[in-house]
Amino acid sequence: MASKKIYRFKFRQDFLDVLTEFSRIHQFDDTKTFKEAFETFCEDNVDLIEKETNHLRQLGYNGDVGKKIYISTRYYFKNKNYNPQEKKERRKYISQDKDFICSIDEHVIIAIRKGEKPAAAYSKFNDYFENIVCDEKNRLKEFLNTEEDILNKIKKTYKNRYFLQQKHSTVEA
């Protein structure tokens, strides 16, 4: 079995951790200060750099490992954003009633055939299916706090269904 050719030689994780920490500390240094700090880093970590050099050579890397380390720290790790990103919590999905969705789909198909714009079609939908819209508003009160949120949910659902149907009808044509 032939060995797999390597096109991108990566540092091992323990070495990467050391490089990343060095880069984070010297992130805002000017070029001259950074280079001086890097030379000191290399002198202080001769054994670690030698181990990584041997590892890369065993993998088949023929380039200058010192240059590879400097370029990685100077241009990649140094410019990395080290501030942890806050994870936004996703909103809980609120599904719409299936009968309500079917009513929307029926109305949308007719509106598309007539060439109505989504806003005008939505307005007519609210007038024509007043009872169904009212029932859906009452059902959504369990999940949403304000009348505005409820109306926005219904409007967004209608327009999404409109564009889905529109996209589907252009594919068939």
Return the sign of the alpha-carbon dihedral for residues 91, 95, 96, 97.
negative
Cβ(28)–Cβ(79) below 8 Å: no
> Which pLDDT value is given to residue 1?
46
Rounded to whole angstroms, how far apart are CA atoms 104 and 162? 8
> Which pLDDT value is given to residue 24?
86
What's the pLDDT tens digit per position in 71-92? 888 887 777 766 666 777 877 8
pLDDT at 171 over 70: no
pTM of the model: 0.49
> Which pLDDT value is given to residue 83?
65
Name the CA dihedral angle for 121, 127, 131, 133, rounded to a multiple of 10 degrees: 40
Confidence of residue 103 (pLDDT cuts 50, 70, 90): very high
pLDDT at 173 over 80: no
What percent of the chain has pLDDT above 70? Answer: 90
